[in-house]
Amino acid sequence: MKVSIDIEVVQWSSESRPAIRAIRERVFILEQGVPAELEWDEEDAAATHLLAHAPGGEPLATARMLIDGHIGRVAVLPEWRRRGIGSMLVIQCIAIGRERGLKQIWLDAQVTAIPLYEKLGFVAEGDEFLDAGIPHRRMRQQLG
């Protein structure tokens, strides 16, 4: 079931940072067991962040895109999953990549999320690898 949400493009230095941190901490650190020292990195400061809000304004999902077209940290709170929100975030990242004139965008997908990214036009490449103990695979999309 799709839901009507608002997605804002924000910077790490904005007042949105606590909401982004809370979502990522809940999804990656608490739920998936990613060590905090791997979740927080210097890339956040220069990244473009997306923050999705429910109709009432409640923050519910986030993603980031690095200057080189690397999409990452796509996180949707458990109670908001299976409503197309992750796809909406990635579609917005694709649009940002096109606006920037990038030739390609890429991500390291958790293996369980590969079908979602394939539906959005990404192609898996290379072998599976572990990132924070979770199986991943590199995926890429040519923007032409």
Indicate whether 24 belongs to any domain.
yes
Indicate whether 1 belongs to any domain.
no
Instruction: End-to-end CA distance of the chain: give it in Å, rounded.
Output: 31
Indicate whether 71 belongs to any domain.
yes
Q: What is the pLDDT of residue 2?
A: 62
Q: What is the pLDDT of residue 144?
A: 77
Q: What is the CATH number of the domain that holds 79?
A: 3.40.630.30
Identify which of 137, 104, 141 has the alpha carbon closest to the alpha carbon of residue 122. Answer: 141
Indicate whether 16 belongs to any domain.
yes
Q: How far apart are CA 41 and CA 44, in angstroms?
A: 6
Indicate whether 85 belongs to any domain.
yes
Q: Which two tokens stand for residue 110?
A: 């958790």
Q: What is the pLDDT of residue 47?
A: 97
| Domain carrying residue 49 | 6-142
How many degrees, rounded to 5, is the angle at CA 105 between CA 26 and CA 118?
Answer: 75
Three-state SS for the chain is CCCCCEEEEEECCCCCHHHHHHHHHHHHHHHCCCCHHHHCCCHHHHCEEEEEECCCCCEEEEEEECCCCEEEEEEECHHHCCCCHHHHHHHHHHHHHHHCCCCEEEEEEEHHHHHHHHHCCCEEEEEEEEECCEEEEEEEEECC
Q: What is the mean pLDDT of each run of 10 residues along the chain (144 residues)?
A: 84 94 97 94 96 93 97 97 95 97 97 95 97 95 92
Indicate whether 46 belongs to any domain.
yes
Count of structural domains within the chain: 1
**Strand pairing class (104-110; 70-76):** parallel
